[in-house]
Every structure is written in C-alpha cells, then in structure tokens.
Amino acid sequence: MNGPFLSMIFFFIYTILMIYSARNGFYSTYSAEDFFLAGRSLNSFFSTATFLATWFSAASILGLGGYVYAYGVAGVVYSIIPWFSGALFLLLISSRLKENFNSIYTYPEFFTLRYNSRIMQICSAIIMIFSYLFYITMQIKGFGLVMSTLLDIPYTAAIFLIYLYILYTTFGGLFSVVKTDAINAFIIFFSFITFGIYIIVNNSGILNIVDKASTLSSVPINGWNVKTPEGGLLDPFCKGLQDPTYLLTSFFGWGLGLASNPQYVIRIISAKDKATSKKMIIFSILLLSIIYTSIIFASIGLRVMIPSSPQVNSIDEIIPTLIKSIFPGYLNGLFLVGVIASSISTANSELLLIANSFTYDILKNYKKGMSEEELLNLNRFTIAIAGTISLLLSFNPPKSLIEFGGNIWGIFSSCAFVPLYAGVVLKSADKTAGELSFVSGLIFYITFMLFQSFGKIPVLSDIHPGLIGFSASLLAFLIAEWRSRNAKYRT
C-alpha cells in the first residue's frame, strides 16, 4: 500500500474524530460563559489536554525540528528553555489569578478589572487580534507544507483544507476547542514520540547519535556556503554559527511572551479550581518534556542519517522533506496527522480569542444591551471573517516559523507581562503605572524592530527586540510606582 494512500486513510480517520468531537462541544454550549470559558468547569484531564495541544504548534515540530537539524542544541537555547521558563512564571501566578480574577471573560478584561483602564482593555484586544491573525498563518503554512510534501498536492489546496477544519472546530466555542484538543493532544504525543523512536532505533540508539553528531561537519542544506563546524551540533551556540546574544535575549520574546500569552491565561481561568490550574501546567510541562526530548534526538538523528538536506526554501521544509524519503507509508500518515493536530489545536484557540476579544472587549463597549444570543452569533461571524483573513495571509506566509513566532510573542512580553504580573502580585500597582508600562513597552518594541529592519546596524541585529520592549515596560512601571509613592508620602 503506497504512502499517499495510507496518509489519506489517517487523514480521513482524523476528520471523522474532529467532526464528532467538535459537534459534541457545540451542543455543550448554552451561554456566553460556556462559549468563552467552557463554563469555567474544565477538570485536570481536559485542562491538561487543551494546554498541551494549544502550546504545541507547527513551529514546535517544523520550525524547531528544522532549526535543531541545522544548528543542533542551539535550538534548545533559543526556544525550549525560554518556553519552559515561561510556563514556570504561569505556575507562580495561577492560584492568585484564579482566586482574584476568575470573573473575567477575556484576557483584555483583566486590565479593566484590575486597573480600571478601558484603554488597556481595548489596546490589548487590538494587539491580540493582529498578532493572532499572523500567528494563525504560521499554523496554516505548517499544515500546507506537510500536506503538499507528503501527499503531492498543491500548497493552496492544502491550506484551504485546514481553513475548513479551523472554522468548524471553533464555531462551538471553547467546549468544541477543548474536546478536539483532547484528541489532538493524544495524537501529538503519540505521533512525535513514534517519530523520535523510529529515528533513534535506526541510528542504533541515543549514544550513537551523540557520538556521530560530535564529529559531523557538513552544510545543513545543499546550496548553503557555511558548514556546521565539527562538534557544532552539540554546542549551545553551534560553535559560533548562532549568536549567543540573540539566543539568550530570545528569552524576552519566547519566554516572557509565553508567560503573558492570552491563550494560557484563559486556560487558567477555564479550569474548575486553583488546584486544577496548577496540575494543568505541571502535567503539561512533564508531557511536553518527553515530546521535545523525542524531537531533539530525532532531529539530530536525522542530521546524522542525512548530513545535508536537499535544497529547500526554508528550514521549515527540512523535516517533512527528509521523512518522506525514509519513513514507511504508515509513519508518513502518522506524522501528517500529528502536524495537522499541532496546527489546528493552536489555530482554533487563537481564532476563538480573536472573536471573543473583538465582540466582548471592543464592540460590547460601544453597543450596550447586547443579548447573549447576539453576542454568540456575532462571535461566529467574526470567526469566519478572521479565519478567512488568515487564510489569505497564508498565500504569502512568513519565511521562518520559529523566528516569526518569537517576534509575535515578544509583543506580549513587551506590553503585557509587567502590567499582568504586577497586577496579580502587587496590591500597590495603580492605573498610571499599568498604562505607562503597557504603552512604553509597545512603543519601544515596535521602534526597535523598525531600527533592526531599516537601520542596518549590525549590533542591533544581535538583540531580540523583546529585551528592549520588556526593559522599557519595566522601567516605566518602576518610575510611575516611585512617583506615586512619593506623592502619597508628601500628602
């Protein structure tokens, strides 16, 4: 039985599972609270599944996998360490967030409830909408790349398929997203553990992978001019091929961005209680540790097996291009549905948050007296519009999933991290400090990115813009708090 046919069988089975689970979630939704937050009722199983599935996106396998293939463990420094650090920050605030702000319906509403700032609520909603529109394009691109590579169908036809999946699994609100995430989380775990085991076994074990990787020296992709230095795959900075400053400052993009990301805050609020929200993060970290360990060894193992990838347009294409040539048909199919599950579980979560914020945080502030039925219908209409915009953007997608994702998350670390965490932890944090922190971080982040893009100053390209944005946000908050305390002292 040939590979494409087996892949189509996996694809068909996955489609049936998605239709059933999304439909089940749709009929569990009776109110806005159900649609937005799954009734704030999720138990440990569903909370963990949706947290894991939402976290693990196309960037986690295609972007990270390709990056590790090309640069080795430098990919761990750039992404995985910051990701897990961000999760620990979430763990620190989960109980207080659940206890003191459990009444919020959306992430931007936190800023009104805590700081009484409509400006921050509306601005954070707008930032969410634009950021997630572009981030969804990454998921659509990932799906399109794998479908077109493994099934030999046009990229444009492939991305239209995931567009339909995303819309269907989002229309039922968070209950639909969570119930499809339960299936997606299992598929993600099983498919990428299998991916790792297959590569490790074919390399005669992990020790053999490490031994051969330590002596490998070749160009990662045919057509590149720079070879990986001997030992580079096991060096945290790939023996100078990856700039240490940029890798380390990426923490302020990927790490603090994840820690202040709306989709994870909403997962905390949707858990049934404080204990469940903590278990959700802990269990997810443990399971994701296993998955990422598998991906790291599989990606380096692929490099050992095939020292130079055929010429591709970007590192995102390396993994699907190589596995097509070495995997048996059934594993191609399993890998395919793994990427589909990764893409859909992230995209539908973000699409739901776009719709919720547009209707609740922006429109509802201007249209008073909107009924729940009107709100939900408007949400579904917004889902269709936003999904279509992301589809259109996907015809000209970002070149690198992993780098593009870090830049998007950097927006959240720059404008939202300090006001969010200070608002949860500090009773003294006031409206002025929150607003100045939010605006300063955003302005400096955007300004620095423009300097990087158009200034052509070498030293600036080595710094992740998240560091500049976060530093400006923190400094503005500290100055505002200091002035506020001095003013109170004088009076």
Q: What is the CATH number of the domain that holds 30?
A: 1.20.1730.10
Looking at residue 408, its pLDDT comes to 86
Specify the range with the lowest mean pLDDT, choosing from 202-216, 266-280, 384-398, 429-443. Answer: 384-398
416 found inside a domain: no
384 found inside a domain: yes
476 found inside a domain: no
32 found inside a domain: yes
Mean model confidence pLDDT for the chain: 90
Looking at residue 433, its pLDDT comes to 93
Which residues, at least 6 apart from 331, have a Cβ–Cβ distance to it below 8 Å? 194, 195, 198, 323
Residue 311 burial class via C-beta count within 10 angstroms: exposed 0-12, middle 13-18, buried 19 and up? exposed
Which two three-digit tokens encode residue 201?
């076994």
- As a whole number of angstroms, the distance between CA 405 and CA 131 comes to 10
Residue 240 burial class via C-beta count within 10 angstroms: exposed 0-12, middle 13-18, buried 19 and up? exposed
Q: 104-127, pLDDT tens digit by residue?
A: 999 999 999 999 999 999 999 999
Q: Are 216 and 233 in contact (CB under 8 A)?
A: yes
144 found inside a domain: yes
Looking at residue 400, its pLDDT comes to 66
Overall domain count for the chain: 1
Place 44 in a pLDDT band, splitting at 50, 70 and 90: very high
Average pLDDT over residues 147-169: 83
Helices 3-26, 155-170: inter-axial angle, 10-degree rounding = 20
Positive or negative CA dihedral for 29, 279, 75, 82? positive
> Cβ–Cβ contacts within 10 Å for residue 105, how many?
20
Phi, psi dihedral angles at 10 (to 5 degrees): -60, -45
Looking at residue 215, its pLDDT comes to 94
Looking at residue 96, its pLDDT comes to 95
User: Which one is predicted more confidently, 12 or 425?
Assistant: 425
Q: What is the DSSP letter of 272?
A: S
Chain centroid offset of residue 469 CA: 20
207 found inside a domain: yes
435 found inside a domain: no
Place 488 in a pLDDT band, splitting at 50, 70 and 90: low
- As a whole number of angstroms, the distance between CA 180 and CA 349 comes to 11
Distances in Å between the Cα of 105 and the Cα atoms of 132, 157, 457 are 18, 36, 43
Residue holding tokens 């979560």? 349
Whose CA is closest to 19, among 223, 225, 165?
Answer: 165
* Region at 398 (left for phi over 0; alpha for psi -120 to 50; beta for the rest): beta
376 found inside a domain: yes
Whose CA is closest to 82, among 437, 424, 409, 423?
Answer: 409
Specify the range with the lowest mean pLDDT, choosing from 185-189, 270-274, 360-364. Answer: 360-364
Which two three-digit tokens encode residue 205?
């074990």
Looking at residue 286, its pLDDT comes to 97
Which residues, at least 6 apart from 348, have a Cβ–Cβ distance to it below 8 Å? 166, 169, 170, 176, 177, 180
Instruction: Residue count of the chain, please give it.
Output: 491
* Region at 246 (left for phi over 0; alpha for psi -120 to 50; beta for the rest): alpha
Whose CA is closest to 305, among 316, 319, 290?
Answer: 319
For 90, the domain range is 3-401
